[in-house]
Amino acid sequence: MNQRQLREVVFVDGVRTPFGRAGEKGYYADTRADDLVVHCIRELLRRHPELPPERIDDVAIAATTQTGDQGLTIGRTAALLAGLPRSVPGFAIDRMCAGAMTAVTTTASGIAFGAYDVVIAGGVEHMGHHPMGDGADPNPRFVSERIVDPAALNMGNTAENLHDRFPGITKDRADRYAAASQRRLAAAYAAEQIQPDLVPIATRRTPSEGQPGTGWELRTVDEPPRPGTTVEDLATLRTPFRAHGRVTAGNAAGLNDGATTALLASEQTAAELGLPVRMRLVSFAFAGVEPEVMGVGPVPATEKALRNAGLSIDDIGLFEINEAFAVQVLSFLDHYGIDQDDPRVNRYGGAIAVGHPLASSGVRLMTQLARQFEEDPSVRYGITTMCIGLGMGATVIWENPHHAEYGAGTDSTATATRTEGNPA
C-alpha cells in the first residue's frame, strides 16, 4: 500500500452578501436565507469561469438554526438552487458562530486528504427569521446536574462574566474599542476595501423605505454600521444583561442576516485550472472552555493552532478577530500583550460595526484577511479567530502568497507525518 500524502490547501476566493439588520425593517425581512446563499455561490462561479462547475466536489453550508429556510440540508439544497450539476453533493454544518469556519476547515481537511479537489464552503444566518435559540429545548440535566450555569445560554451574560474575570477591561475600554471598530470600517469603505467582496442583493423595500411590496431595492452596502459613533454616544446606552453592567448594544455585535461562501482547492488543482491563490491554509484548531466565559475560547484555540504550525504569536502579522463583544476581543489582546489600537488587529473594523450573522461570519474574516494580504506583502502569516457559544474557540492560520518567503520550508507533497489538526 502506498503511503498517503497530504496536499496543500489554498483559499481561492470568498464573497458575502451585504449584512442586514434582523427584523421586519431589515434588508432581508422578505428574503429567504437559502436564496442569500444561492447568490453567493453563483457569484463565485461568475468570478471564476475557469472553474468547470462539475469539478466542485462538495458544498458545505453552515447555519446555527437549521430549520425553515435554513434547513433541509442547506448545502445540498443551495447547490441545486444555484444551478450546480446534480452530481455535486452538499451538506449542512452547525458549530454556532463558527459554522462557516468549520465548513472551511472540514472541507479543507478533505482536500488535504485527497477526497476533494475543489469545494465551496460557507454559512448563512437569518436572525430575523430564526432568532438565536428559537425552538431550542436545552436538556434539563444542564441545570439539574449543574453542567452549565443557565446564564451561560445567554451570550450577553457570558460577556458580563468576562468583564468580571478581567476587571481591567472596563466599560470605557470596551466602548473605546467599539468606536474604533466603527471608524476602521468607515475608513475601509471609503478606501473601497469592503465593496469588492460584496454580492449585490435585490430585495423588497422595507416599511421605512415605503410600503413593503411596492418595489425593489438593490443592497450593495452593509446595513448595520453606524459611522461617526463616539465613545460619548456609547456611554449613554443601557446595559440590558445586568444592572450597572458593561455590555451594551454599542460594544457588541447586533442581530443580523447574511451569507458567505468561499472557494477552496488543492494547490495542484488551482494550478491546473488557473485558479488564483489568495491564501494558503497553515493550521487550524478548535478548543473548549467554560461555557460561562465562552469569549476566552480564541486563546486556547490560537495556542493550539500556533503549536501545530510551529509558530509563535510574534509570527502573526495580521489578526481578524470576530467581534461578538468588545470584551471578548480585549481579553484575547490582553492575553498576548497586544494593544487594542494595534494596527495589525481588524484593520477593516469588525462585527461590532459590520454585523455578525452567526454561522456566516467565519468566511467574512477570511475574505478580509485575504484582501489585507494583497495590500500588505510584508506580512507572511495571519489568523482568523472567533469565540463560539457554549464555550468554544476556533482559530485558522493562513500564509500570504504575496510574501517573499511564501511557501519557504513547505513541501506540497508532504507525507502524513504532520500534526493532527494541521492539514497543510
Could you report the per-residue pLDDT of 294-305, keeping only the tens digit for each?
Answer: 999 999 999 999
Annotation marks residue 244 as catalytic: no
Q: Is the pLDDT of residue 420 over 90?
A: no
Per-residue confidence (pLDDT) for residue 417, from 0 to 100: 35
**Burial class of residue 295 in the structure, from the number of CB atoms within 10 Å of its CB (0-12 exposed, 13-18 middle, 19+ buried):** buried
Number of continuous H segments (helices) and E segments (strands) in the chain: 12, 12
Q: What percent of the chain has pLDDT over 90?
A: 86
Listed in sequence order, the residues at least 6 apart from 244 whose beta carbon sits closer than 8 Å to its beta carbon are: none
Q: Is the pLDDT of residue 411 over 90?
A: no
Q: Which candidate in 39, 126, 130, 356 is catalytic?
A: 356
Range in 62-66, 150-154, 251-255, 370-374 the model is least confident about: 150-154
* Per-position b or e across 64-96, b if 16+ CB within 10 A of its CB: bbbebbbeeebbbbbbebbebeeebebbbbbbb
Alpha helix segments (H runs only) across 213-297: 231-235, 267-273
Q: Which three cell numbers stand for residue 147?
A: 453542567
pLDDT in tens, 87-111: 999 999 999 999 999 999 999 999 9
pLDDT in tens, 277-321: 999 999 999 999 999 999 999 999 999 999 999 999 999 999 999
Per-residue confidence (pLDDT) for residue 210, from 0 to 100: 61
Range in 2-11, 35-44, 243-252 the model is least confident about: 2-11
Annotation marks residue 40 as catalytic: no
Average pLDDT over residues 122-137: 92
Per-residue confidence (pLDDT) for residue 143, from 0 to 100: 81
- Kind plus residue range of the DSSP H or E element containing 330: helix 326-335
pLDDT in tens, 68-84: 999 999 999 999 999 99
- The CA distances from residue 15 to 88, 131, 187, 390, in Å, are 20, 24, 20, 28
Average pLDDT over residues 54-59: 98
What is the rounded average pLDDT for all residues in the chain? 93
Structural domains for the chain:
9-130+147-398 (3.40.47.10)
Determine contact, residues 249/237, Cβ cutoff 8 Å. Answer: yes
pLDDT in tens, 335-379: 999 999 999 999 999 999 999 999 999 999 999 999 999 999 999
Look up the pTM and report it: 0.94
Partners of residue 202 on adjacent β-strands: 218
Per-residue confidence (pLDDT) for residue 413, from 0 to 100: 35
Q: Which candidate in 97, 126, 130, 163 is catalytic?
A: 97
Per-residue confidence (pLDDT) for residue 11, from 0 to 100: 98
